[in-house]
Amino acid sequence: MLRIITQISEAEAEIQRICNRTHDDQVIHKEATVREVLQFVKRNGDSAVLSYTAEFDQQTLTPEDLRVSAAELDIAYQQVPKDLLDAIRLARRQIEAFHQQRKPKSWVQFPGQDVVLGKRFTPVDRAGLYVPGGRAAYPSTVLMNAIPALVAGVPRRVMVTPPGPDKSINPAVLVAAQEAGVEEIYRVGGAQAIAALAYGTETIPKVDIISGPGNIYVTLAKKLVYGTVGIDSLAGPSEVLIIADSTANPSHVAVDLLAQAEHDPLAAALLITPDATLAQKVVLEVNRQLEHHPRRVLTEKSIAHYGLVIVVETLEQAAELSNAFAPEHLELEVANPWDLLESIRHAGAIFLGANTPEAVGDYLAGPNHTLPTSGAARYASALGVETFMKHSSLIQYSAEALSEVADAIQILADAEGLPSHRDSVRLRIQRSS
Amino acid sequence: MLRIITQISEAEAEIQRICNRTHDDQVIHKEATVREVLQFVKRNGDSAVLSYTAEFDQQTLTPEDLRVSAAELDIAYQQVPKDLLDAIRLARRQIEAFHQQRKPKSWVQFPGQDVVLGKRFTPVDRAGLYVPGGRAAYPSTVLMNAIPALVAGVPRRVMVTPPGPDKSINPAVLVAAQEAGVEEIYRVGGAQAIAALAYGTETIPKVDIISGPGNIYVTLAKKLVYGTVGIDSLAGPSEVLIIADSTANPSHVAVDLLAQAEHDPLAAALLITPDATLAQKVVLEVNRQLEHHPRRVLTEKSIAHYGLVIVVETLEQAAELSNAFAPEHLELEVANPWDLLESIRHAGAIFLGANTPEAVGDYLAGPNHTLPTSGAARYASALGVETFMKHSSLIQYSAEALSEVADAIQILADAEGLPSHRDSVRLRIQRSS
């Protein structure tokens, strides 16, 4: 079921296939549906949102139902066990501490006489946080999206999430939101939620940036509204790549592969190892652990389609294959992970050594678990405080500083055929000379 | 021609109209054309690129013509006057110095016993730089795109730009490219250039990120390929907003407005001032300077459609209107620009004081001139070294550190219904206890 391959050329082809598993041209016809949803919400506001919620989520709401009430927010605390609340609070503290210290700071400098240069960082005015429902209603997703926006200092942080049966929202999600400083929560999901955040409705405010993962409809909607608002990234199904050597424990490697596969039938779980014996043992372990797995059907599907073990000659080869995949999560279960790290160019998050299963980072180590997928780690990074901030360049020249560079500017402006650019300097120099 | 308005409500409406000047639904039918170009290049590579170049640029090329030859690169230096070369080099030095010192650096930290956290910054493998041709063939655009990629340490930096008459490329563009370390240049523009960079052809390499401004077809193509590759931003027509008080020189304010308008009929140029007399004088000055303007027709069109003077009561009101517009360029031609800065929340670049016309930043102050447009400064920032880099989160736990957080992780994993997440910790703890 979990295949082992040993040919590098086959491995390269398989890595491409798995990496492209969501780049299918079939998304194009879904795009037409999403475009329609966006247009309808843009024109009809709340009433469009409510009609899609009835259609897609089978929940009949009034405009007054849309916002989660203060009473519901309070009650959620009664519904969450004490040990879960404590765990959420531990995670919140560690995630907040990590993000807090890496908050970008404004600065100015004085590179030459009479010149001031700088960058001024400011938060966006409003952030919209998308939190999936159903199978993927995770309090950890709430923390990982809301805390960076909180730390960035975003004045208005709004969350949207689809209603479950009886219009309900998962209480752990509601508690995590409040722990992360979000109290404005709307019961809406799917492309209609993205439309509401991008254009605004009578009830739901238009925001400046939308973050958070979702299904293919949510992702397509985010891509289409990008430019009207900012977005964090286009999230695809999750993936892990493990590089392991003979020092790795086969049972640990196997459980880490399954911890990815259990997310989603489209999740990908790859092992690359120079140890053919380890490869065999991991396959046996995966089968053994799958036998009584509570999410066996889904997890088996993912392992069968997007699970893979590649046996290579050297760890260097493993690193090169990993770079070609550019995994969202990379585990280095090898004797000297910091040495191997030098050969890694592209990965969203890297887990070093035998005692760092991905779950540590998924929940509470501190760094964000919202990471680039489907090869996007070639060019993109984790969600962070900077996602919710932007900077303005600052430039100030004195009259003297301007005259020093006046000739060069005028020559460049003339070369580009922009006379008023030239004159904007020429007229000022005349005055000051 | 340049209108003055004094009603705040009218000002707000006009600002929205100007801000949305490129968000028209009319782009949707252009998208169909662009999608066709992308698909055709994806399937047919060079031959598709050449056929579009014949159709759109009226230039008949062979695959061998696509890449600009070493001889052409050399000859360009003979065609560029010495003073222009010197100006390009001054700009290059200042831009490089500014970007160099703000290059993100990798770090690790040790927040608790037996825990290592960090961020490792790495450049993308390949960057594709789009440089427009025709009216907007600017050496400054080349410098502003190529230098951040160079400073980021991107190993392969590729430029594309449409061929002019006789297949030629502007020699100043070729010189600026070489000064900024780019020697792999292809004669291709438009959506077909973006397709070639996103998918690769026989001649043109697939890249990881595409940066640089272009017309509406280029921008739509960048939006559509986003996700297959990274992009810097969706650039629209340029814009300036000037806040001026009674200390400002009307002739300087006027020339700065025209320096924006002369770019493009869609460029926007706004003045907001509490001084009604200044407003009148600026309008007269704009008319006077337009009389003999070499780009009069184009510039007048821009001023007529997207030029505006707003008279307000206070500088605070001016700042609020500016925040609603979120201008690409903001000039503060006021007595105390650093005081007014405190009220500014959104702007791509801010030019402080009477002696800092936008042209200083356009060409050589150092900060990047590739900036968010059309209100995108609400959530986006200037192009920078970080555009061409990404980071991997680093996490390492010891066995002891893992056991300390093991309970919390297992509780969270159980709450989220992810048994292998729980077991990835449980199995490891068993061993170490």
Nearest residue of chain A to residue B400 (CA atoms): A355
The nearest alpha carbon in chain B to A402 belongs to: B355
* Cα of A337 to nearest chain B Cα, Å: 10
Copy the structure tokens of residue A421: 């650019």
**Mean pLDDT of all residues belonging to chain A:** 95
A317 is in an annotated binding site: no
- Mean pLDDT across A215-229: 94
Which residue in the list B179, B262, B300, B328 is annotated as catalytic?
B328
Nearest chain B CA: its distance from A53 CA (Å): 24
Q: Give CA A162 to chain center in angstroms.
A: 19
- Whether B328 is a known active-site residue: answer yes
pLDDT of the residue at A433: 45
> How far is A296 from A64, CA to CA, in rounded Å?
40
Closest in A115, A208, A363 to B378, CB measured: A208
Give the residue, B39 or A133, on which the prediction is more confident: B39
- To the question of whether residue A192 is assigned a binding role by annotation, the answer is yes
Alpha carbon separation from A10 to A5, A309, A313, A319 (Å, rounded): 7, 12, 14, 16
For residue range A418-433, what is the model confidence (pLDDT) as tens digits? Answer: 999 999 999 999 754 4
pLDDT class of A22 with cuts at 50, 70, 90: confident
Q: How many Cβ atoms from other residues are within 10 Å of residue A330's Cβ?
A: 29
pLDDT at B29: 81
For residue A149, give how far its alpha carbon lies from the nearest alpha carbon of chain B (Å).
12
Question: Which residues from chain A sit within 8 angstroms of residue B413, using beta carbons?
Answer: 359, 363
**Average pLDDT value for residue range A260-287:** 97
B113, B412, B414, B433, best to mutate vs chain A, most A CBs in 10 Å: B412
Q: How far is A428 from chain B (nearest CA, A)?
A: 7
Instruction: For residue B421, say whether it is annotated as part of any ligand binding site.
Output: yes
Q: Is B343 on the interface with A (CB under 8 A)?
A: no
The reply to whether residue A251 touches residue B427, judged by beta carbons under 8 angstroms, is yes
Segment (H or E) for B5 = strand B4-5
Sequence-distant (≥ 6) Cβ neighbours of residue A27 within 8 angstroms: A216, A220
For A39-87, what is each residue's pLDDT tens digit? 999 999 999 999 999 999 999 999 999 999 999 999 999 999 999 999 9
Q: Check: CB of residue B133 under 8 Å from CB of residue B168.
A: no
- The confidence score (pLDDT) of residue A21 equals 86
CA distance linking residue A93 with residue A364, whole number of Å: 9
Q: Quick one: tokens of A7?
A: 């040919």
Q: What is the pLDDT of residue B24?
A: 61
User: Would you say B215 is a known binding-site residue?
Assistant: yes
The answer to whether B122 contacts A345, with C-beta atoms less than 8 Å apart, is: yes
- Which runs of consecutive H residues, i.e. helices, occur in A262-314? 276-291, 296-306
B23 neighbourhood in chain A, CB within 8 Å: 227-228
Of residues B14, B239, B285, B329, which has the active-site annotation?
B329
Q: Which candidate in A328, A331, A333, A358 is catalytic?
A: A328
Task: Consult the annotation and say whether A215 binds a ligand.
Answer: yes
Contact B208, B201 (CB under 8 A): no
The label of the residue with tokens 């052809």 reads B201
First to last CA, chain A: 81
Q: Which of B300, B346, B355 to mutate to test the interface with A (most CBs of A within 10 A)?
A: B355
Q: Do B350 and A393 touch (CB under 8 A)?
A: yes
CB contact under 8 A, B392 and A115: no
Distance between CA B421 and CA B412 in Å, rounded? 9
ipTM: 0.96
Q: Which residues of B touch A148 (CB under 8 A)?
A: none
Phi and psi at residue A244, to the nearest 5°? -130, 145
Q: How far apart are CA B212 and CA B234, in angstroms?
A: 9
Position B20 scores a pLDDT of 86
User: For each of chain B's 433 residues, which pLDDT tens digit applies?
Assistant: 899 999 999 999 999 999 988 766 567 788 889 999 999 999 999 999 999 999 999 999 999 999 999 999 999 999 999 999 999 999 999 999 999 988 999 999 988 779 999 999 999 999 999 999 876 679 999 999 999 999 999 999 999 999 999 999 999 999 999 999 999 999 999 999 999 999 999 999 999 999 999 999 999 999 999 999 999 999 889 999 999 999 999 999 999 999 999 999 999 999 999 999 999 999 999 999 999 999 999 999 999 999 999 999 999 999 999 999 999 999 999 999 999 999 999 999 999 999 999 999 999 999 999 999 999 999 999 999 999 999 999 999 999 999 999 999 999 999 999 999 999 999 999 754 4
d(CA B237, CA B221): 16
Mutation site, B394, B427, B433, interface A, largest A CB count within 10 A: B394
- Taking each helix axis as running N to C, give the angle between helix B399-415 and helix A82-101, from 0 to 180 degrees, rounded to the nearest 10: 120
Residues of B in contact with A31 (CB under 8 A): none
Interface touch B230/A423, C-beta < 8 Å: no
Count Cβ–Cβ pairs < 8 Å, chain A vs chain B: 356
Put simply, the answer to whether A409 touches B376 (Cβ < 8 Å) is no
Residues of B in contact with A103 (CB under 8 A): none
Closest residue, chain A, to B327 (C-alpha) = A392
Q: Chain B contacts of A258, Cβ < 8 Å? A: 420, 423
Q: Are strands B389-397 and A349-352 parallel, antiparallel or unpaired?
A: parallel
- Partner B contacted by A40 (CB < 8 A): no
**Distance from the Cα of residue B415 to its chain's centroid:** 43
Facing residue for B392 by CB, picked from A87, A350, A412:
A350
- d(CA B370, CA B140) in angstroms, rounded, equals 10
Distance CA B271, CA A114 (A): 26
Contact A378, B124 (CB under 8 A): yes
How close is the nearest chain A Cα to the Cα of B354, in Å? 8
pTM given for the model: 0.96
B344 at interface of A, judged by CB pairs closer than 8 A: yes
CA distance to partner chain B, nearest, from residue A138 (Å): 6
pLDDT for position A431 = 52
Report, as an integer, the average pLDDT of A346-362.
98
